[in-house]
Structure 1
């Protein structure tokens, strides 16, 4: 596949600028760049979901013009997006062959024939997944396998993966990368769009760097390192990914106290204390209860017993509104499902919790809305011109900044952040780290949950390790190590035992 001078503009934003790109058959071609660099837009152009304003696309030497994803599929190209498009109430088999079912005479569906085809596909790329299982009962990793098999069932020669590991655990990520390698080994071309540079270097044959919608360079991954990729993406070197954490506060005044909280969602008698100006990391495996604990503190979700105090005062928290009034802000794990109104503007999303203060006679004053939002989003590095854009048109990193701006608007005493850098690029991550550290320096207590072990090692003053809904270890700054965290998370250390 070859692109020549491909450009695309959205509502005043130049998403792609005269992109020239050649994708070799049977290779894994990675695409990296900051949020807003044009990665996802380029991926959507490849699969026919977006039509370029200018330029030419060639497939196997022939000029093509995709008007829809169906046109791209006819040419042997399909994509697997971050938001999987499966039918949850149907079986794996039904989803894999949806629209390309085997048929008997008179149009009857040939289930036996489909089962044979399914087995052949599974053997082709080494994917083992029960064909009769309902999609809703599968893990996210297994759902991605279903999407991959569906692409192969449609005889796709080129598959575009857009941030495929953003919501996967470490083990699930390793399995997916192995699947990508298997696909390439069987002759399928893979375009791999990702923020995770280690994965790009591990699985890619070639890598393209985009910046501000323009092509920076395309080289073999063997010629790149994480540092060189970062420099290409940002236009500058990033000397230190994690800013220096502020000194631990001398005055240990408790901003947040949690006393023996238990919930219907699996939290079992958790107690913790966080001082003003302190950053605490919450580690644990998927299913350990990290998100459930944060929601229980913020909104009382599923709480059956226990108590919460903020700045020394007991609080009765039974809803998100109670949490907000108590001085607790929550940055949720899923921007789309739990945080943002994707069709509304960035400024509208920022002030969503403060409408009473900017409305007159029930009508929101737009000038006040923009004035309130502008200072916050500019502090977070989101260009002022973007605040009027629908938040759904922004990159993942900029969406996260909008959500953070809403949290900061309340000047919370306690910030709870659930996977604060999930799905954002290296530059946006650095900005978010700086923000969390600056909030702590200003006196806020920060409790964040993360699946990225580097964040647990580098950001907090202390780390709490959750397993099966209980805090199994508290690690002080000098004792936080990957080995200590993982031994507790996996149950290799006894409850309450020495983990240092």
Structure 2
């Protein structure tokens, strides 16, 4: 059971802490403690209060009532600066780096070494290199952050936290954008941080990961803490039941049967884009769910954007419904029955300062507009509301800005938008990233329903279990090429990973 807050190893403790956003109670009488040298995981569905708890620790939000203590002393963390003074820092699921500045600039920002009123570039670099050496994380300090892979950008963010003499680090969905081998490397780093005495708060929707890496798990549901216990006493099923209040059962629906006489809906021939992918050829039949697996950087997302019209290929051709499809732009693809859930909701999908209504209906405004009457707000509202209900988005109003939704609910907005178009072809690039178990089931069921009514899905995922559980057939990409095609019982974790790591 949860240790007493009086434990000498307790670094941060919450006692009956409350936090509300308008009418939404994000955290209700939460009592929990975090110990130095321990990895403490927070799990729960979207809207359970995990990220809110993490942000209270980091001073991003201030608590409404209750007591927060650091080193046994009551504190009021009114800003991230206050938290940093106590050694409390965080790594968010959406990286907050300066892409046009160098690695050393990003790591040292706000903590540069000075000589008098002047910044000493040499001494600042020496300090950054010392931090890299101490934790065994080396990245070329002169490189621009924008040129780095997602995995290396995450390392820069972690190094920046370590450069602040962090005593507690909050990791919020840290492996959501990483391939499996990169996630393993991150796990090793997190363990080494805990071993050196750093307290780690680990927020993740990946329950296997939580069970593998943490010492303690706190379960939250609807803003309330259900329980805190030793990881050794939990299982995946016990966590799911605690998070949802029910036994979720089988995560994946049965794969709909494909009519062998079904027409080919999409045919791609020798599609090439320099330095991204080469000679890609495949077809998808009506009702088929085609998975594309591979490591981050293998060209999967780039291929998806080329098919969707977001970037032009250098050569090759596409046929849609048996006719040549000229790639023009995204609007042209939408009109021809395509929809896409992009990989990065913040960079590619959402207008964070606009409403849930606007974000969902934006690509289809022409549908609700006439020359005489203009925009039919009532019809727009009705269809968006129905789509949001179908995808189980938790919100306090369609007029609320998307930036105030949880990360998981922001992801579901992308799916609600795609579903509104009733697409003939859905391109889903990491569609369940940052989404909880219950919402994953909803999304998998929606994908399955598309298949049942004869629509096609191109599913790109870094979660091998997702590919195995959902796809009828799978292509594996490596270094911009398709290196394997797997069908039925051939779609196994070992077969996918073996192909993904092919060198030639």
TM-score (ref. length: structure 2):
0.93
1:385 CA drift (Å): 4.5
1:126 maps to which residue? 136
Does the residue aligned with 1:131 lie in a helix, a strand or coil? coil
Aligned equivalents of 2:368, 2:22: Cα separation in 1: 27
Aligned equivalents of 1:184, 1:76: Cα separation in 2: 14
1:400 alignment partner, one of 389, 408, 411: 411
Aligned pair in 2 of structure 1 residues 397, 152: CA closer, same or farther (>3 Å)?
A: closer
- Alignment of 1:227 onto 2:244: no
Does the residue aligned with 2:482 lie in a helix, a strand or coil? strand
- Alignment of 1:478 onto 2:489: yes
Aligned equivalents of 1:385, 1:151: Cα separation in 2: 34
- Contact 1:281/1:449 (CA < 8 Å) preserved in 2? yes
TM-score (ref. length: structure 1):
0.93
Matches within 5 A, 1:267-278: 267-278=277-288
Matches within 5 A, 1:96-495: 96-104=107-115, 106-299=116-309, 301-359=311-369, 363-383=374-394, 385-491=396-502
1:193 CA drift (Å): 1.0
Aligned pair in 2 of structure 1 residues 480, 343: CA closer, same or farther (>3 Å)?
A: same
1:442 CA drift (Å): 1.4
Aligned pair in 2 of structure 1 residues 79, 300: CA closer, same or farther (>3 Å)?
A: closer
Query: What does the per-residue CA deviation read over 1:84-130, in whole Å, with 9 as the maximum and x for residues that have no partner?
Result: 222333333332222222222x3333344334433432343222233
Does the residue aligned with 1:435 lie in a helix, a strand or coil? helix
Aligned equivalents of 1:112, 1:382: Cα separation in 2: 50
Matches within 5 A, 1:19-38: 19-38=30-49
- Contact 2:27/2:49 (CA < 8 Å) preserved in 1? yes
1:383 CA drift (Å): 4.8
Does the residue aligned with 1:376 lie in a helix, a strand or coil? helix
Aligned pair in 2 of structure 1 residues 473, 409: CA closer, same or farther (>3 Å)?
A: same
Does the residue aligned with 1:388 lie in a helix, a strand or coil? coil
Aligned equivalents of 1:442, 1:414: Cα separation in 2: 12
Aligned equivalents of 2:411, 2:157: Cα separation in 1: 27
Aligned equivalents of 1:295, 1:143: Cα separation in 2: 22
Query: What does the per-residue CA deviation read over 1:151-201, in whole Å, with 9 as the maximum and x for residues that have no partner?
Result: 222222111111111111212211111111111111111111111112212
User: How many residues of Structure 1 are paired with residues of Structure 2 in the alignment?
Assistant: 492
- Contact 1:249/1:278 (CA < 8 Å) preserved in 2? no
Aligned equivalents of 1:467, 1:306: Cα separation in 2: 19
1:209 CA drift (Å): 0.8
1:40 CA drift (Å): 0.9
- Contact 2:255/2:448 (CA < 8 Å) preserved in 1? yes
1:363 CA drift (Å): 5.0
Aligned equivalents of 2:63, 2:78: Cα separation in 1: 10
- Contact 1:8/1:17 (CA < 8 Å) preserved in 2? yes
CA RMSD, 1 decimal:
1.9
Aligned equivalents of 1:384, 1:37: Cα separation in 2: 13
Does the residue aligned with 1:7 lie in a helix, a strand or coil? strand
